[in-house]
Amino acid sequence: MSDLLRIAIVGYGEIACRQHVPAIAKTSGVALVAVADPVKTPPGLPHFRDLQELLRDGPEIDAVALCTPPQMRHAQAAAALASGKHVLLEKPPGTTLSELTPLITAAQEAGRTLFAAWHSGYAAAVGPARQLLAGRTINKVTIIWKEDVRVWHPGQAWIFEAGGFGVFDPGINALSILTEILPRAVFVRSAALDFPSNREAPIAAEIELSDAGGLPIHAEFDFRQTGSPSWDILCETDAGPVTLSKGGRQLRDGGRLVVDAPDEEYPALYRRFVALTSEGKSDVDLAPLRLVADSFMLGRRRLVEAFED
């Protein structure tokens, strides 16, 4: 393989255009050399209708970034690994926990990297928040993660289909931060999921979680928010409140602003991916996905009014 990690993006939707392409351009040691998408044709790059055509007829590549809806990713990741490619999985990494186990095994057997890209865990304030909380007693955690689906996922019907996660598509970002900043593993105690009468995935959710020490954690996810999004995690501690805002980019310790950084999550993701491929390692953290799966298993289903995009 070349010293330069040659990567192709599969699925050229909004997240690929807005985040992956500029992040790759900012990251040394990696270059975008092709795109596979059934509809969009980016200028200046070789374009293929799907992954199979890319692997058969495309330029030499070392890795793929799978930015397709999660319902498609298992088959695509398996095909890419079988072809000797490293694989970056956009979040969520798949629709089920069980489908990821054989992918982890396949990557190990092929000597290739499989990377579950929990981008919110790489937000600038997450690491400092983890360090700050490590020296304190946490008494309560409240997560408010709400946004307007029409603004952030316009026309993306797959998100409300079975396996599309619904409001857990953004909500899992909060859970990926939660599992990073808390010192102990957490689990779901109960959940209530609001399903529009014409959809197969929830538009809102309320979840109660805890850790082995009984820490109360309350989470509210909602796709029906209008105006500015709310991407906040409040930790009440023995030394006062610690608040993560802006999806993990801003940190306050009481009234003191500790971190207020721009959005640089995806460049950090790609630096991590390049390092993993050079070291021959994988990184597939399943903790956030387990919490979503448990929410569906324990969740009380509530029917709400039909949703039309």
Question: Can you give the CATH number for the domain in which 137 is found?
Answer: 3.30.360.10
What is the mean predicted confidence (pLDDT) over 19-33? 96
Q: What is the dihedral of CA 95, 111, 17, 76, to 10 degrees?
A: -40
**280 is a domain residue:** no
Domain boundary pick from 117, 143, 171: 117
User: What is the three-class DSSP state of 54?
Assistant: helix
**141 is a domain residue:** yes
> 143 and 84, same structural domain?
no
Number of domains in the chain: 2
The per-residue pLDDT for range 46-76, each reduced to its tens digit, is 999 999 999 999 999 999 999 999 999 999 9
Strand-by-strand arrangement of the 30-36 sheet: 47-48, 30-36, 5-10, 63-66, 86-90, 114-117
pTM: 0.95
> 224 and 202, same structural domain?
yes
**45 is a domain residue:** yes
> 224 and 156, same structural domain?
yes
> 165 and 105, same structural domain?
no
Take residue 156 and report the two structure tokens written for it: 């993306």
**233 is a domain residue:** yes
> 80 and 146, same structural domain?
no
What is the mean predicted confidence (pLDDT) over 231-240? 98
d(CA 83, CA 68): 19
Burial class of 151 by CB neighbour count within 10 A (0 to 12, 13 to 18, 19+): exposed
Domain that includes residue 21, residue range: 5-117
Count of CA atoms in the C-beta half-sphere (13 A) of 142? 8
**272 is a domain residue:** no
Taking every pair of C-alpha atoms in the chain, what is the biggest distance, in angstroms?
60
Domain boundary pick from 117, 136, 163: 117
> 235 and 192, same structural domain?
yes
The per-residue pLDDT for range 242-286, each reduced to its tens digit, is 999 999 999 999 999 999 999 999 999 999 999 999 999 999 999
**63 is a domain residue:** yes
Domain boundary pick from 63, 84, 117: 117
What is the mean predicted confidence (pLDDT) over 22-43? 94
Indicate which residue of 26, 40, 85, 91 is catalytic.
91
> 20 and 92, same structural domain?
yes
Q: Residue 119: which residues within 8 A CB-CB, separation 6 or more? A: 19, 91, 173, 265, 266, 269
**285 is a domain residue:** no
Nearest to 199, CA basis, from 240, 233, 164: 164
- Is 91 a residue of the active site? yes
> 256 and 154, same structural domain?
yes
What pLDDT is recorded for position 3? 82
Count of CA atoms in the C-beta half-sphere (13 A) of 80? 34
Q: b vs e for 126-139, b when ≥16 Cβ sit within 10 Å of the residue's Cβ?
A: bbbbeebbeeeebe
> 231 and 142, same structural domain?
yes
What pLDDT is recorded for position 1? 46
**238 is a domain residue:** yes
Using pLDDT thresholds of 50, 70 and 90, give the confidence band for residue 43: confident
What pLDDT is recorded for position 85? 98
d(CA 269, CA 266): 5
The angle formed by the CA atoms of residues 309, 265 and 167, to the nearest 5 degrees, is 30
The per-residue pLDDT for range 180-216, each reduced to its tens digit, is 999 999 999 999 999 999 999 999 999 999 999 999 9
CATH number of the domain where residue 28 is located = 3.40.50.720
> 130 and 52, same structural domain?
no
The per-residue pLDDT for range 152-178, each reduced to its tens digit, is 999 899 999 999 999 999 999 999 999
> 189 and 247, same structural domain?
yes
> 156 and 297, same structural domain?
yes
